Amino acid sequence: MGKKKRKREVDKQLLDSLFAIEYEWKQIQSILNKSIESTEDGFYKENLARAKYLYLLKEAKHRKIRATRFYQ
């Protein structure tokens, strides 16, 4: 397998992870917004998901990845 093909696969995996974490983060936010009394655990999970999302987003920007290249 060539270097470009492996890089493309890793980039696609990164984007898939980015979208999955974004969905998870938004789900947690939605639950916390709808809950009457939020727990510390809920805030912890939201902050963790947000940190993961921002890290993956930073990595995607560093690699100059665009979602339109993979999902057309």
Cα–Cα dist 54/2, whole Å:
30
The total number of residues written for the chain in this structure: 72
pLDDT value at position 26? 95
| Residue 1, pLDDT score | 55
Q: Which residue has the higher pLDDT, 22 or 67?
A: 22
Residue 61 pLDDT: 92
25 burial level (CB within 10 Å; 0-12, 13-18, 19+)? buried
Q: Mean pLDDT throughout 7-33?
A: 92
pLDDT(45) > 60: yes
- pLDDT score of 46: 94
* pLDDT average, residue stretch 43-59: 95
